[in-house]
Amino acid sequence: MIDIACVGILVADLIAKPVDSIPKAGLLERIDSIAMYSGGCAMNAAIDMAKIGLKTAVLGKVGADSFGDFLRDELKKYNVETDGVATDNKVQTSASVVISASSGERSFLHTVGANATFCYDDVNWDIVEKSRIVFVAGTMLMDAFDGPDCARVLKKCKEMGKVTVLDTAWDSRGRWMDVLEPCMPYIDVFMPSIDEAIELAGGEREPSKIADIFFDMGVRQVVIKLGSQGCYLRESKEAEGVTIPCFTVKAVDTTGAGDSFCAGFLSGMAKGLSFTECGRFANAVGAHCVQAMGASTGIRSYEEIQTFILNQEKN
């Protein structure tokens, strides 16, 4: 049995650090390090949850190249099921150059690659059948899958009795709800970032009012990532919303912070924690993520993260 199947993007991240200014054309600037890490919302979340102690799988697509081989090897290293990862011989594996500043903030240069060709027909339904929860990660960055294909997948997952969760990415093309609206009735837990939620809600900035909009479109529970302010949780339209503050830690690299939050929340769901406990655990996983370079490097086991929460609450 698989606890959680992550459907979405896989990316090879080349992280350059620290970069506080871009050299002018033709000039060179020395930095401390350039290293390759696994990335992409689905891959980050699957590895994070595997490190926490869950059985996970990834459904997505890579190219027939060295980046694709690297990503498969990384998944296997953490015992993530890879039978759902398809290969496209016509395009390269998705990759990003991550420019990480001394402050921990980062910027991206990204090629969509194989993530753009992943579609409904690529979904391995045998993996879905064996999974308890299906997490769609990377919406807005999968050209063929976003919109109708994603809605079809979520609808079928619901018909199969699966719990569905969806996280969005930033939509640089400004389509937002035009893409997501057909998916909303089939989402059990919707967890965008606050910036994405504002865009999806047509400019509304108050989390409770944003949540109302999402509930009216059919989602069952709303989780909004608030960055340094923690997270906003609302279990139903009738319930009161609650804000869970984040844990204060020294940020080294914020790459994958949102994905690690989702991984923490999903881990809490799989472990049977309450909705509020899931939010607190998600914040703790996010805090571990930002204390190390790379999207998944700082993630620890379920027991270690629970100990961290207890110690923080004592202080």
Instruction: Tell me the domain boundaries of the chain.
Output: 2-19+35-314
Give me the mean pLDDT over the 12-38 stretch: 92
**Is residue 314 pLDDT above 80, yes or no?**
no
Say what the pLDDT of residue 261 is.
Answer: 97
**In the prediction, which pLDDT does 293 show?**
74
User: Residue 213: is its pLDDT beyond 80?
Assistant: yes
Q: Which of 81-85, 108-112, 205-209, 261-265 has the lowest mean pLDDT?
A: 108-112
Identify the band that residue 294 occupies on the pLDDT scale cut at 50, 70 and 90: confident
pLDDT-above-70 percentage for the chain: 100
CA gap 106, 99 in Å, rounded: 5
Residue with tokens 């980046």: 67
pLDDT of 34: 93
Whether domain 2-19+35-314 has CATH 3.30.420.40: the reply is no
